[in-house]
Amino acid sequence: MVVWASMNIKEVAARARLSTATVSRTINQSGLVRPGTAEKVKRAIRDLGYIPNTQARALVSGRSQMFGLIISDIVNPFFPELVKSFEFAAIHRGYEVIVANTDYNSERMGGCVRRMIERKVDGVAIMTSELDRHLLAELSHRQLPIVFLDVGKLKPLISNINVDYSNGIREAVQHIVSLGHQRVGFISGPLTLKSARTRRSAFLKCIGACGFSEGQRSVVEGNHKIDGGDSAMTALLSLPKPPTAVLTSNDLTAIGALRAITRVGLRVPEDVSVIGFDDIELSQFTQPPLTTIRLSRDELGRRAFDALFEMVAGQRRAGQEIKVSTCLVLRESTAAVKKTP
Amino acid sequence: MVVWASMNIKEVAARARLSTATVSRTINQSGLVRPGTAEKVKRAIRDLGYIPNTQARALVSGRSQMFGLIISDIVNPFFPELVKSFEFAAIHRGYEVIVANTDYNSERMGGCVRRMIERKVDGVAIMTSELDRHLLAELSHRQLPIVFLDVGKLKPLISNINVDYSNGIREAVQHIVSLGHQRVGFISGPLTLKSARTRRSAFLKCIGACGFSEGQRSVVEGNHKIDGGDSAMTALLSLPKPPTAVLTSNDLTAIGALRAITRVGLRVPEDVSVIGFDDIELSQFTQPPLTTIRLSRDELGRRAFDALFEMVAGQRRAGQEIKVSTCLVLRESTAAVKKTP
DNA sequence: TAACAGCATGCAGACGATAGCGAGAACCAA
DNA sequence: TTGGTTCTCGCTATCGTCTGCATGCTGTTA
Q: What is the pLDDT of residue A43?
A: 94
Interface of A with B in 75-104 (CB under 8 A): 75, 77, 79-81, 83-84, 87, 91, 96-99, 101
Per CA to C1' distance, which residue is closest to D14?
Answer: A60
Mean pLDDT of chain B: 91
- Strand-pair partners of A3: none
Interface of B with A in 21-40 (CB under 8 A): none
Using the CB atom, is residue A201 less than 7 Å from strand C?
Answer: no
At B124, which helix (H) or strand (E)?
Answer: strand B123-126
Report residue B284 CA to chain centroid gap: 20
- Name the pLDDT band for B152 (thresholds 50, 70, 90): low
Residue of A nearest to B117 (CA): A51
Nucleotides of D under 7 A from a protein CB: 7-12, 14-20
What 8-state DSSP symbol labels residue A318? B
What percent of chain B stands above pLDDT 70?
A: 97
- What single letter denotes the amino acid at residue B288? P
Per CA to C1' distance, which residue is closest to C7?
Answer: B32
Is residue B100 within 8 Å of B71, Cβ to Cβ? yes
- Going by their DSSP bridges, the two strands B291-295 and B321-329 should be labelled as antiparallel
B262-320 pLDDT, tens digit each: 999 999 999 999 999 999 988 988 889 999 999 999 999 999 999 999 999 877 778 89
Q: Which residue out of B4, B7, B51 would a mutagenesis test of the A interface target, given it has the greatest number of A Cβ atoms within 10 Å?
A: B51
Count CB atoms within 10 A of the CB of residue B205: 14
What percent of chain B stands above pLDDT 90?
A: 74
**Distance in Å, alpha carbon of B97 to nearest chain A alpha carbon:** 7
Residue contact B142–A91, C-beta within 8 A: no
Of the candidates A326, A325, A322, the residue with the CA atom closest to the CA atom of residue A306: A322
Distances (CA, A) of A17 to A32, A179, A205, B31: 17, 78, 72, 45
| Contacting residues 22-51/A vs strand D (CB within 7 A) | 22, 25, 32-34, 36-38
**Bigger pLDDT: B12 vs A154:** B12
Q: What is the pLDDT of residue A6?
A: 66
Check whether B341 has a pLDDT greater than 60: no
Check whether B135 has a pLDDT greater than 90: no
Distance CA A333, CA A337 (A): 12
Of the candidates B12, B9, B6, the residue with the CA atom closest to the CA atom of residue B48: B12
**Distance in Å, alpha carbon of B210 to nearest chain A alpha carbon:** 34
Per CA to C1' distance, which residue is closest to C19?
Answer: A21
Residues contacting B44, CB < 8 A, separation 6+: B12, B13, B15, B16, B23, B50
Which parts of A142-300 are beta strand (E)? 146-149, 158-164, 184-188, 217-221, 245-248, 273-278, 291-295
Using the CB atom, is residue B240 less than 7 Å from strand C?
Answer: no
- Name the pLDDT band for B2 (thresholds 50, 70, 90): very low
Check whether A316 has a pLDDT greater than 90: no
Residue contact B74–A80, C-beta within 8 A: yes
Count CB atoms within 10 A of the CB of residue B194: 15
Distance CA B190, CA A330 (A): 31
- What single letter denotes the amino acid at residue A8? N
**Distance in Å, alpha carbon of A277 to nearest chain B alpha carbon:** 17
**Distance in Å, alpha carbon of B288 to nearest chain A alpha carbon:** 9
| Contacting residues 7-26/B vs strand C (CB within 7 A) | 17-22, 25
Residue contact B256–A59, C-beta within 8 A: no
Does A55 touch chain B if contact means CB atoms closer than 8 Å? yes
Distances (CA, A) of B216 to B204, B233, B239, B295: 12, 16, 12, 27
Bond prior to A288 in cis (omega within 30° of 0): yes
Provide the 3-class DSSP secondary structure of residue B98: strand
Residues contacting A12, CB < 8 A, separation 6+: A20, A23, A41, A44, A45, A48, A50
Residue of B nearest to A98 (CA): B98
Which nucleotide's C1' sits nearest to the alpha carbon of A57?
A: C17
Q: What is the pLDDT of residue B6?
A: 67
The stretch A215-244 carries a mean pLDDT of 95
Provide the 3-class DSSP secondary structure of residue B27: helix
Check whether B218 has a pLDDT greater than 50: yes
- What single letter denotes the amino acid at residue B220? V
Is residue A222 within 8 Å of A229, Cβ to Cβ? yes
Answering whether pTM is above 0.85, one says yes
Instruction: Residue A51: list chain B partners with CB under 8 A.
Output: 114, 117-118
How many residues does the structure list for chain B? 341
Return the number of CB contacts < 8 Å for A and B. 122
Is residue A131 within 8 Å of A109, Cβ to Cβ? yes
Interface of A with B in 189-248 (CB under 8 A): 226-227
Q: How many CA atoms lie within 13 A of B252 on its CB side?
A: 19
A22-70 pLDDT, tens digit each: 999 999 877 788 988 999 999 999 999 999 999 999 999 889 999 999 9
A184-220 pLDDT, tens digit each: 999 999 999 888 998 999 989 988 888 889 889 999 9
Residue of B nearest to A7 (CA): B142
Instruction: Residue B143: list chain A partners with CB under 8 A.
Output: 4-5
